[in-house]
Amino acid sequence: MRSKTVISLGKFYPRKRPFRLDAVSRRVPFLPYYHAVGEASDLPHISPLYLPRSLAIFKKDLETFLKYFEPVSLVDFKKNPLEKKNGKAIFHLSFDDGLRQIYEVVMPLLLEKGVPATLFFNTDFIGNKKLFYRYKAALLLQTVRDTHFTNKLRTHVISDEILDKLAEEYDVDFGDFLTQYKPYMDWEQLEDWKSKGFTIGAHSKNHRPYFEMKEEEQLRQTLESMKILKTENFSFPFNDVGINTSFFKKVKDTYPGFTSFACTGLKIDPEQNHFQRTSMEGSLASADTIIKGEYLYFALSSLIGKNKRKRSS
């Protein structure tokens, strides 16, 4: 989710001053990403956690992206992440979690606008077999009124076991939600997404935070999910905190073309073919405000050497 600092910087950008992104776009690519698109009332597994983008806002986001940037496919992006096209910096759009709203709501709009995109899937959830633990927490937040557990539900460290026990206690049926609501895409929809010219990637098996895992489990989650999806593209669940250079080396031993993404906004990353994306969710700020804020934040961070991601060996 976008930080208040980034949004504040974007809001205070002088309206009459021409916005130029040349200095930054020559160093880092702009990679916006989302999870779902729709009204908060239609996304009960997301809205208690953060504010999603409505379709109307998402349409405006696309218009803003196309104003400042040229869209490219993931294949073309990987060839030259800092390329210019038609005199503009490029961007590549992506979505995490494999939620059905991207297939039903977003895909027709992307086809209409001619905007390529990549969708990253958690392989355990395809076809609505299981439910991401944060989405379980969101459903419980609408029922549980115990302050102790409400605070726990808002953290990233609560276990599936506790969530399942709470669901039983408060009569929340996760299985019924999976069957009736169907939050995730199925394999047929995934293949149709690909057949329309869009790309896919892995997002781990079950979306547990990698910073909780030892490297052995990080590798297992990554390699197994990529093998199932037959892809060398990957986005880290939550973030890439705790991911060392040794992890990238070991993955590339199996997948030499491994290309990965995280979510710290505009930053230079020391790892080759690993890129930082910009979240467009969590606020009502316009895409124009978020983009200007990100570029200003990067420029200011550059002055004190804070625009580069650090990684242990």
| Distance separating alpha carbons of residues 257 and 155, to the nearest angstrom | 34
- Residue 110 CB neighbours (<10 A): 19
Domains, the chain, ranges and CATH? 4-125+183-303 (3.20.20.370), 129-181 (no CATH)
Amino acid in the structure at residue 153: L
DSSP codes, 282-304: SS---HHHHHHHHHHHHHHHHHT
Place of tokens 């991601």: 309
User: Angle between the 245-254 and 215-229 helix axes, to the nearest 10 degrees?
Assistant: 30
Q: At residue 14, does pLDDT exceed 70?
A: no
Q: At residue 171, does pLDDT exceed 60?
A: yes
State the pLDDT at residue 2: 54
Quote the tokens at residue 55.
């379709």
Distances (CA, A) of 63 to 9, 21, 140, 301: 21, 17, 36, 28
pLDDT tens profile 141-150 = 988 877 777 7
Quote the tokens at residue 165.
């026990």
Q: Return the bridge partners of 32, or none.
A: 278
pTM (2 d.p.)? 0.94
**Average pLDDT rounded to a whole number, residues 280-287:** 94
Least confident of 95-99, 178-182, 204-208, 294-298: 294-298
DSSP reduced 3-state for 140: helix
Quote the tokens at residue 310.
């650090």
Q: What angle do CA 240, 246, 251 make, to 5 degrees?
A: 80
pLDDT tens profile 18-70 = 677 777 878 899 999 999 999 999 999 999 999 999 999 999 999 999 999 99
State the pLDDT at residue 16: 61
CB 100 within 8 A of CB 183: yes
pLDDT tens profile 64-88 = 999 999 999 999 999 999 989 988 9
**Average pLDDT rounded to a whole number, residues 178-205:** 98
Amino acid in the structure at residue 274: H
Contacts of 234 (CB under 8 A, 6+ apart): 120, 201, 202, 203, 222, 225, 226, 251, 258, 259, 260, 261
Total length of the chain: 313
CB 66 within 8 A of CB 45: no
Burial (CB count <10 Å: 0-12, 13-18, 19+), residue 29: buried
Amino acid in the structure at residue 241: V
- Residue 46 CB neighbours (<10 A): 22
| Distance separating alpha carbons of residues 71 and 65, to the nearest angstrom | 8
State the pLDDT at residue 220: 98
Q: At residue 1, does pLDDT exceed 70?
A: no
